[in-house]
A and B are shown apart, each in its own frame.
Chain A
Amino acid sequence: MKKTIGLMAFSLVLSATVAGGAFAPAFAQGSHLRIGLAEDPDVLDPSLARTYVGRIVFASICDKLFDIDEKLAIVPQLALSHETSADGKTVTIKLRPGVKFHDGEAFDATAAKYSLDRHLTIKGSFRKPELGSVNTVDVVDPMTIRLNLKEPFSPLLAQLTDRAGMMMSPKAAEAAGDKFGLKPICAGPFKFVERVQQDRIVVEKFADYWNKDNVFIDKITYLPIVDGTVRLANLRSGGLDLIERVLATDIKTVRDNPKLKLISAVELGYQGITMNLANGAKANTPFAKDARVRRAFELSIDREALNQVVFNGEFVPGNQWISPQNFYYQQAFPIPKRDVAKAKALLKEAGVTGPVTLDFMVPNGAETKAVAEVIQSMAAEAGFDLKIRVTEFATSLKQAEDGDFQLYLIGWSGRSDPDGNSYSFQTCGSPQNNSKYCDKDVDAAHQEARSKSDPAERKKAYERVAAKFLPEGSILYIYHRRVLVALTDKVEGYKQIPDGLVRVVGVKLK
């Protein structure tokens, strides 16, 4: 009996190996694109979703009113054009005619109003704060809507290039309620077919897509593979055609492989250290109270050396909430050079003696730990004793909110408008302002940037923010990562937009 079982097991191994060998080529198919994701997306409901990885899947199933291009310019998608009134309080949007949802329903002003109203009202909607400036939505004519704002808000269009601008079939959304995300019906180039949690999401080409002539892929399977090494192994073995978030340490492997291509763009967000200035007992230090001590800390760090040591020089050092390539980057405030002597002099001037001990909370991860250790050793030379405390991510969020940190290594995935990278972190009482930094001038400059629509005028307002926030504020910006996407040589026509999303319109498979 036992012998039989043993034999069975052996034959199972053998047959599966043979079957696998014969089977492997069947994984590759003509116009079936297989994309490896770094995480499993959350619910696929444009109103209720909140993960970055979810946006990658949405890019193929849910079109938005507007989109961004490679230069971060806002371009129409389901909209045709827009016009903001002179007082900045109404935005009129003309919609693209001839657009259909995946269930065959027509996209028009009523559907657009329905989608925006749903974002604003459904319980637990994460779009409410994004569309917070919108008071009401009017249907002007069958193909025109008007957004009436509470006050002028220039980042609004940028919000409509993301989930807040995604349009949903009213019929399907009404029927499904808060379960819409289990089978989303939108107006994107691909329609949802099936999802097996943590395993795959399958979408197929939508025959009635408004821009169908530029869609050359028949089917996409998204496969969440958390381990970066395994994700790359799948790409190398032919199990995948494209992977997102290649590890910086794997860049060389990809470049050395003639069958693979690496495409990159500087991220929209930033990586930095949040310094606790006024949140609870841990802010009761000279470091929090005296900007000179914080300035000394900044001068102890060599951003370029950090980039070289941890990321082989692949990333981009930075000192602002947007990268040096961005239009809104303030050239008047360049990245400070490392100056240990000056740092020590500043500490002396501030009357600080002995090492400045700081509790440094670092979310768990190989890269974050390496960054923290390099900063720790650099800062030590100037007289800072950083106590690295590696903390599980969910726990770190709570502790940051509770003020249980002095330094917190945390980044931001980034938004196309500079407001999305700064307002919620820098203004008094804002939700992401874990440091409880508060300055009336910074707030006023932010409000001005929000109310102006001319980019040059907005840039001037942000200059005032930079002048105050960079030397005294609560975030030390350190570097900007690169969005790294690797693909096989079978994939053609792929373009990377800095938001890191994978857009499949125009992509071909050889």
Chain B
Amino acid sequence: MLAFLAQRLLQIIPTLILVSMLIFGLQQLLPGDPALIMAGEERDPKVLEEIREQYRLNEPIPVQYFYWMKGVLSGNLGESMRLKSSVASLVAEKLPVTLQLAAMALLIAIGIGIPAGIVSAVKKDTAWDYGANLFALWGLSTPNFWLGILMIFLFSVTLGWLPASGYVRLGENWQASLATTIMPAFVLGNALAAVLMRHTRSAMMQAMGADYVRTARAKGLHEGRVVLKHALRNAMTPVITLLALDFGTLLSGAVLTEQIFTIPGFGKLIVDSVFNRDYAVVQGVVLVTATVYISLNLLADIAYVLVNPRLRG
């Protein structure tokens, strides 16, 4: 197990270096001039030159990369050109928001997707199955922004139950925090639940036809126990993979959903930063997200090994 872990950890280093180079290189390909977009309407050549100098925009790309990497290795992710605040503080400000939203969305997805998948597999070709499939189709084909706006009109404008947008920190007022995040979490969770339902359904169907399920039934076990204890447990491996990947995706920010509900998370930060060519912020956020994503994959790998000892090899 230890050797496995060490091997996986070693693989992370070159991956991260490659990711950092990719982010840096790719965003240099973006058309537009960061100094020009920063200046906006106040375009004076002398001031533009000062900005380019201050942020080393005139230096060759490898030199810029070197300075950035040097900073990153010493724990300094750089400074936002637009806001003058440090990228690390921006990340620290947004990470809890995104984590909360991702966790809530995942809980909603699990809460809906897995039971629906199980029911659909167990009650194959019945009204339950068709209903669940219809739900999945709806979840997959409803665009987030549309569902989001509809929910705002229903729950905020018409019924007045929930604030239309904005965000309150959990520590500040947990009720208000849940009230501001429940709609975006549902919008995100809804789409995920659909995918989760389809995966759970197919994995469960496979498991239900396996020999050990027949054996379990032959032993006279209660059907509920057969489904939940024997079939579900075995069907969970692909679902865990999916969950880990989805959680990673959620952490990189739900761009449209955050924009509609004005949730100040990673997605909104990264979009604003790309449009403003605030390179340091884009680089910092992508690097942090990549690290989290890779770590989650590692955790998923560990989870497999724990679930299935044969993989320990």
Give the interface of A toward B (CB within 8 A). Answer: 2-3, 5-10, 12-13, 15-17, 19-24, 26-27, 40, 42-43, 45, 48, 50-52, 123-126, 128-130, 178-179, 181-182, 196-200, 223-227, 229-230, 233-234, 236-239, 392-395, 397-399, 401, 412-413, 431-432
B298 within 8 Å of A (CB atoms): no
Min CB distance B214 to A, Å, is: 23
Asked if A199 contacts B166 (CB within 8 A), the reply is yes
Given A239-B165, A398-B33, output 5 extra A-B contacts at Cβ < 8 Å: A5-B111, A9-B111, A20-B155, A50-B38, A124-B47
Residues in A with CB closer than 8 Å to B275 are: 392-394
- Proximity string of chain B (103-146) to chain A, C-beta cutoff 8 Å, 1 when within and 0 when not: 01001101110110000000000000000000000000000000
- Tell me the smallest distance from the CB of A260 to a CB of chain B, in Å: 12
Contact, CB under 8 Å: A128 / B46: yes
Q: Could you say which of A6, A43, A126, A200 contacts B110, with CB atoms under 8 Å apart?
A: A6
Residues of chain B within 8 A of A8, CB atoms compared: 107, 111
**Known A-B contacts A197-B93, A233-B153; A23 and B175 likewise in contact (beta carbons under 8 Å):** yes
**B152-195: which residues lie under 8 A (CB-CB) from chain A?**
152-153, 155-157, 160-167, 175-176, 178-179, 181-182, 186, 189
Closest residue of chain A to B37, judged by CB? A394
A398:B42 contact, CB within 8 angstroms: no
- Check if A128 sits within 8 Å of B36, measured CB to CB: no
Given contact pairs A2-B232, A43-B84, A239-B163, A431 touches B43 in the complex (Cβ within 8 A): yes
**Contacts between the two chains (Cβ within 8 Å), count:** 205
The 7 closest A-B pairs by CB, nearest first: A9-B111, A20-B179, A199-B264, A16-B178, A394-B32, A129-B44, A19-B175
- State whether A45 and B84 are in contact (beta carbons under 8 Å apart), knowing that A230-B262, A237-B160 are contacts in the complex: yes
User: B269 interface residue, CB < 8 Å from A?
Assistant: yes
Count of interface residues, chain B, beta-carbon cutoff 8 Å: 68
B277: chain A residues at CB < 8 Å are 394
Contacts of A10 in B (CB 8 A): 111
Q: Is B31 an interface residue (CB 8 A)?
A: yes
Q: Indicate if B85 sits at the interface (CB-CB under 8 A).
A: yes
Q: Is B41 an interface residue (CB 8 A)?
A: yes
Contact B32 A398 (CB under 8 A): yes
Query: How many angstroms from the CA of A394 to the CA of B40 in the assembled complex?
Result: 9
Chain B hits for A200, CB < 8 A:
166
Does B16 reach chain A (CB closer than 8 Å)?
Answer: no
Contacts of B167 in A (CB 8 A): 199
Q: A24-B179, A126-B39 are in contact. Are A238 and B262 (CB under 8 A)?
A: no
Q: Which residues of A lie under 8 Å from residue B152 when comparing CB positions? A: 230, 233, 237
Complex formed: what's the CA distance from A413 to B41 in Å?
8
A413 cross-chain contacts in B, Cβ below 8 A: 41
Q: Is the CB of A9 within 8 A of B107?
A: yes
Cβ–Cβ contact B43 & A15, under 8 A = no
Task: Give A130 to B84 CA distance when docked, in angstroms.
Answer: 22
Are A197 and B47 in contact (CB-based, < 8 A)? no
B43 contact set on A, CB distance < 8 A: 431-432
* Closest Cβ–Cβ distance, residue A406 to chain B (whole Å): 18
Residues of B within 8 A of A (CB): 31-33, 36-47, 50-51, 54, 82-85, 90, 93-94, 104, 107-108, 110-112, 114-115, 149, 152-153, 155-157, 160-167, 175-176, 178-179, 181-182, 186, 189, 228, 232, 259-262, 264, 268-269, 272, 275-277
* Beta-carbon contact of A226 and B182 below 8 Å: no
Majority secondary structure, B binding face? helix
B47 proximity list for chain A (CB < 8 A): 124-126, 128-129
- Are A181 and B176 touching (Cβ within 8 A)? no
Could you show 7 A-B contacts with beta carbons less than 8 Å apart? A5-B114, A9-B189, A24-B160, A26-B176, A43-B84, A128-B47, A431-B43
Inter-subunit contact A230/B44 (CB<8 Å): no
Contact B161 A24 (CB under 8 A): yes
Point out the residue from B40, B115, B272 that lies within 8 Å of A40, measured CB to CB.
Answer: B272
A68 CB to nearest B CB, Å = 18
Q: Are B160 and A129 in contact (CB under 8 A)?
A: no
Task: Determine which of B31, B32, B162, B262 lies in contact with A17 in the assembled complex, contact meaning CB atoms within 8 Å.
Answer: B162
CB neighbours (8 Å) of B41 from chain A are 50, 52, 412-413
Q: Nearest chain A CB to B198's CB is how many angstroms away? A: 16
Cβ contact of B182, chosen from A20, A128, A196, A393, cutoff 8 A? A20
With A23-B175, A239-B165 as contacts: A6 and B115 at CB distance below 8 Å: yes
**A20 CA / B159 CA spacing, docked (Å):** 11
For B112, the chain A residues whose CB sits under 8 A away are 6, 9
Are B161 and A17 in contact, CB atoms less than 8 angstroms apart? yes
Residues on B with C-beta less than 8 A from A22 are 175
Contact across chains for B42 and A223 when beta carbons are under 8 A apart: no
Q: Given A2-B110, A197-B83, check contact A50 B42 (CB 8 Å).
A: yes
A158 to chain B, nearest CB (A): 15
B178 touches A20 (CB 8 A): yes
Contact indicator A13/B108 (Cβ below 8 Å) = yes
In the bound complex, CA of A179 to CA of B89 (Å) = 14
Chain A contacts for B40, CB-based, 8 A: 50-51
CB contact between A126 and one of B42, B165, B179 (< 8 Å): that residue: B42
Q: Which residue of A lies closest to B40 (CB)?
A: A50
Q: Is the CB of A16 within 8 A of B176?
A: no
* Structural contact, A230 and B182, CB atoms closer than 8 A: no
* A394 B83 Cβ-Cβ under 8 A: no
B117 shortest CB reach to chain A, Å: 10
Which A residues are CB-close (under 8 A) to B261? Answer: 230
Q: State the CA gap A236–B83 with chains docked (Å).
A: 31
A52–B36 Cα gap in the complex (Å)? 16
Cβ-defined contact, A43 with B83, below 8 A: yes
Q: Tell me the minimal C-beta distance from A166 to chain B in angstroms.
A: 15
Expressed in whole angstroms, the Cα–Cα distance for A27 and B54 within the complex equals 42
* Minimum CB–CB distance for B161 against chain A, Å: 4
Complex interface: chain A residues within 8 A of B42 (CB): 50, 126, 129-130
Contact B110 A5 (CB under 8 A): yes
Q: Collect the chain B residues with CB atoms within 8 Å of residue A50's CB.
A: 38-42
Q: Which of B84, B85, B176, B232 has most A Cβ within 10 Å?
A: B84
**From B94, B112, B163, residue with most partner A Cβ within 10 Å:** B163
> Complex: how many Å from CA A12 to CA B115?
17
Contact B39 A123 (CB under 8 A): no
CB pair B110 A239 closer than 8 Å: no
A361 to chain B, nearest CB (A): 12
Q: What is the CB-to-nearest-CB distance from A236 to chain B, in angstroms, rounded to a whole number?
A: 5
Contacts of A124 in B (CB 8 A): 47, 50-51, 54
CB pair B107 A5 closer than 8 Å: yes
A317 to B46, CA, bound (A): 35
B107 nearest in chain A by CB position: A9
Could you say which residues of chain B place their CB within 8 Å of the CB of A51? 40
- How far in angstroms is the closest Cβ of chain B from A363? 12
Task: For residue A347, give the distance in angstroms from its CB to the closest CB of chain B.
Answer: 34
